[in-house]
Amino acid sequence: MSQPQVSAPLDLDIADGIAWVRLGRPESMNSLNTELKEGLLAALRTAADDPTVRCVVLTGSGRAFCVGHDLKEHVQRLDAGDASLRTTVTEHFNPIVTLLSTMDKPVVAALNGVTAGAGVSMALACDFRIAVDSAGLNTAFAGIALSCDTGASWWLPRFVGPAKAKELLMFPRTIPAAEAAELGLLTRVVTASEFDAAVRDFARTLADGPTLAFGAIKRAVTFSAGAPLAEALAHEAELVTLTGQTNDHRVAVDAFLAKTSPVYTGH
């Protein structure tokens, strides 16, 4: 197992095509202080740029996935007249959520517990969300008189529609995992005893898949969400041409004709 050096309360393990990114501040429910935000951004950049990584899993340690911004650090900086709230959104949160949603490989949020604020936003930016049944999601922003950030205003309406998104943002509450799944916010809900194996199996399936095709599908879906039909069709044509030239495509076609299972290399 490869263990890149990360100077932050975070673990990054890369093994067998999967990058495991684990937030490591369980005593603060993995709230995002400056050190962790910078470490997370660096870890995601490493995973995104590593050609051996074919799937990324983001998870937490302890009883929380991530409860968003570290409010203790935030209050200290407010008291000191520090304007870092404005700059941390552009310097940390925005690049983090952009990497999660645009890297050319699938990203799984493994929600091991409570998730709030920017933690919810990060989870929604991932391609899939597997949650333990005791987990809950809380947008939280309005509860501390802040507008939403880290992409919440972009992702929530696309999952639940504008009206429901406003309700969830303006009247924050902890949404149980079962309800979150019904709303379409979660991919799968499992018991605590099933959680680790479910995440591993899901990540393994993605890592063994056609990585370049997965990346192209991500780009196609994101582009089409804000494009006219003609532009979406043209973009699809470009991506089909691109993926049609990959070794994985040829392997898949040959396997289909031979009635065997393809073995992808991600190229």
Question: Cβ distance 90 to 56 under 8 Å?
Answer: no
Give the architecture (CATH level 2) of 10-207.
Alpha-Beta Complex (3.90)
Token code pair at residue 188? 């799968």
Indicate the domain borders of the chain. 10-207, 211-258
Distance CA 13, CA 226 (A): 35
Query: pLDDT (tens digit, 9 = 90+) per residue, 84-136?
Result: 667 889 999 999 999 999 999 999 999 999 999 999 999 999 999 999 999 99
Angle at 59 between CA 55 and CA 63, to 5 degrees: 160
Q: What per-residue confidence (pLDDT) applies to 88?
A: 87
What is the mean pLDDT of the segment spanning 133-151? 96
pTM here?
A: 0.92
Q: What per-residue confidence (pLDDT) applies to 98?
A: 97
Domain 211-258 has CATH 1.10.1330: no
Q: What per-residue confidence (pLDDT) applies to 64?
A: 97
What is the mean pLDDT of the segment spanning 154-159? 96
SS3 assignment, position 223: helix
Q: Give 108: exposed, middle or buried? Use CB within 10 Å, 0-12, 13-18, 19+.
A: buried
Q: What per-residue confidence (pLDDT) applies to 162?
A: 97
